């Protein structure tokens, strides 16, 4: 497909060429494409008469269910903005998804400096804000969270970063035994985005009693992607685990950072609300969706 008005042409991104687009695609998304985890993407090649070819923008994402394609990155270079490049990227994705009946979703960091412009752009292109109680993501400013006093952990409670815990102990956890608060990360404890200094494990007598997985997310803004504690463990153990993550994050970034924490069910929400004052728990993410046009269909891209 060629956008004749703006002279834009899509170019697929893959393992062979993705490193050439690091100026348009975030490092973690580059890693996703290199790992063949299902992330796909394409760039917009801009051609103007008597000028060199250049890449004006790029979009990447993946199917998170059979009926939902999540955009993980969309970026337009500074010199190419307000020229229809972003709309071209979304239109190209819509064409590629034609026939799959898949909706397109994207998350927006509420306090990001470019959030207002991105939200306006999404709404103009047919996206609607979508809210689900099970998909709340709080953001906690560490400058405030560092002032919250936690009870001292029990002496027999050993909380260590993943980097100091034997892999054999981490691998001993069976996610089918008990339901965790937050879904397990797709790549397990060896995932490429997991911060092994911020992720913490509770170990007792050489056995894993609980853990908290923290992944790189945004600059100075990691996200707590998984949390589990033995069902019979007292609430103070969970608080000690969260406290250890907070302290490690402050040590790494100072207080000039934020921690994103999903509250996917009432149990997790109640724990967070019991730890942090309500004014500290801000909704950190907004989610937008564009629903498929079912009036016609094609057969071009399948999850």
The pLDDT tens digits for 215-237 are: 887 777 888 877 888 877 777 78
Instruction: DSSP letter for 3, please.
Output: B
Task: Calculate Rg over the CA atoms of the chain.
Answer: 21
CA-wise closest residue to 58 among 22, 33, 27, 83? 22
Torsion of CA 36, 68, 101, 43, to 10 degrees: -50
Q: Cα separation of 272 and 203, whole Å?
A: 22
User: What's the pLDDT score for residue 94?
Assistant: 92
Residue located via tokens 């069902």: 231
The pLDDT tens digits for 11-54 are: 999 888 888 888 888 887 887 788 777 888 989 888 655 556 68
The pLDDT tens digits for 51-71 are: 566 888 999 998 988 899 999
Whether the domain at 8-101 and the domain at 137-283 fall into the same CATH topology:
yes
> HSE on the CB side for 171, CA within 13 Å?
4
The pLDDT tens digits for 90-132 are: 999 999 998 888 999 998 888 788 889 999 999 999 999 988 7
- Paired sense of beta strands 285-290 and 103-109, if any: antiparallel
- What percentage of the chain exceeds 70 in pLDDT? 82
What is the architecture, at CATH level 2, of domain 137-283? 3-Layer(aba) Sandwich (3.40)
Residues 6+ apart with CB under 8 A from 88: 3, 6, 8, 44, 57
The pLDDT tens digits for 141-176 are: 877 777 777 666 556 678 899 888 887 777 666 554
Q: What is the pTM of this model?
A: 0.69
Contact in structure between 116 and 123 (CB atoms under 8 Å): no
Contact in structure between 133 and 266 (CB atoms under 8 Å): no
CA-wise closest residue to 21 among 94, 73, 97? 73
Examine the pLDDT at 187 and tell me if it is beyond 50.
Answer: no
Give the mean model confidence (pLDDT) for residues 260-267.
Answer: 76
- Return the domain boundaries, the chain: 8-101, 137-283
CATH, domain range 8-101: 3.40.630.30
């Amino acid at each position: 497909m060629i956008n004749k008005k703006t002279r834009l042409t899509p170019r697929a991104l893959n393992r062979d060429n993705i490193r050439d687009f690091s100026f348009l695609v975030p490092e973690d998304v580059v890693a996703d494409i290199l790992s063949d985890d299902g992330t796909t993407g394409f760039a917009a090649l801009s051609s103007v008469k008597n000028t060199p070819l250049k890449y004006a923008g790029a979009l990447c994402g993946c199917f998170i269910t059979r009926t939902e394609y999540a955009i993980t990155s969309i970026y337009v270079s500074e010199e190419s903005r307000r020229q229809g490049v972003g709309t071209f990227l979304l239109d190209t994705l819509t064409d590629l998804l034609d026939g799959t009946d898949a909706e397109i979703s994207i998350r927006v960091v509420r306090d990001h400096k470019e959030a207002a412009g991105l939200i306006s752009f999404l709404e103009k292109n047919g996206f609607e804000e979508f809210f689900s109680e099970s998909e709340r993501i709080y953001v906690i400013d560490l400058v405030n969270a560092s002032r919250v006093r936690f009870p001292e952990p029990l002496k027999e409670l050993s909380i260590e970063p993943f980097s100091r815990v034997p892999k054999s102990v981490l691998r001993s956890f069976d996610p089918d035994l008990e339901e965790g608060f937050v879904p397990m990360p797709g790549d397990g404890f060896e995932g490429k985005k997991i911060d092994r200094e911020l992720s913490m494990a509770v170990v007792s007598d050489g056995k894993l009693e609980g853990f908290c997985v923290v992944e790189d997310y945004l600059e100075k803004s990691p996200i707590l992607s998984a949390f589990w504690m033995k069902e019979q463990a007292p609430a103070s153990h969970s608080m000690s685990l969260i406290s250890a993550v907070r302290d490690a994050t402050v040590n790494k970034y100072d207080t000039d950072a934020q921690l994103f924490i999903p509250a996917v069910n009432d149990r997790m929400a109640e724990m967070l609300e019991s730890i942090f004052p309500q004014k500290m728990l801000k909704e950190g993410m907004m989610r937008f969706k564009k629903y498929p046009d079912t009036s016609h269909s094609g057969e071009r891209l399948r999850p």
